[in-house]
Amino acid sequence: MSHDLSLARSHALDLARTLMVPVVLFLSGDEYGVLPADEIDDEDDVEVIHEFDPWRAQ
């Protein structure tokens, strides 16, 4: 988790490109985090900021 949005965004994009799977950048409380998109549930208490898909141009 990170408090810096630009750092979290950069790591999310790198992770998506490395794993070649869509990842989600989210806000939980006052920290940003990244998870593979298929691990985010509608029931999770997170606010999705952006989804990075390595197969689509960003």
Q: What is the pTM of this model?
A: 0.85
For residue 58, the model assigns a pLDDT of 60
**For 21-29, what is the mean pLDDT?**
94
Q: Is the pLDDT of residue 6 over 70?
A: yes
Question: Is residue 16 packed enough to be buried (19+ CB in 10 Å), middle (13-18) or exposed (0-12)?
Answer: buried
Q: Is the per-residue pLDDT at 57 higher than 70?
A: no
Residue-wise DSSP of 7-50: HHHHHHHHHHHHHTS-EEEEEETTEEEEEEGGG--TTSS-EEEE
What is the per-residue pLDDT across 26-47, written as a single tens digit (0 to 9) for each?
998 899 999 999 998 876 788 9
The answer to whether 31 and 12 have CB atoms below 8 angstroms apart is: no
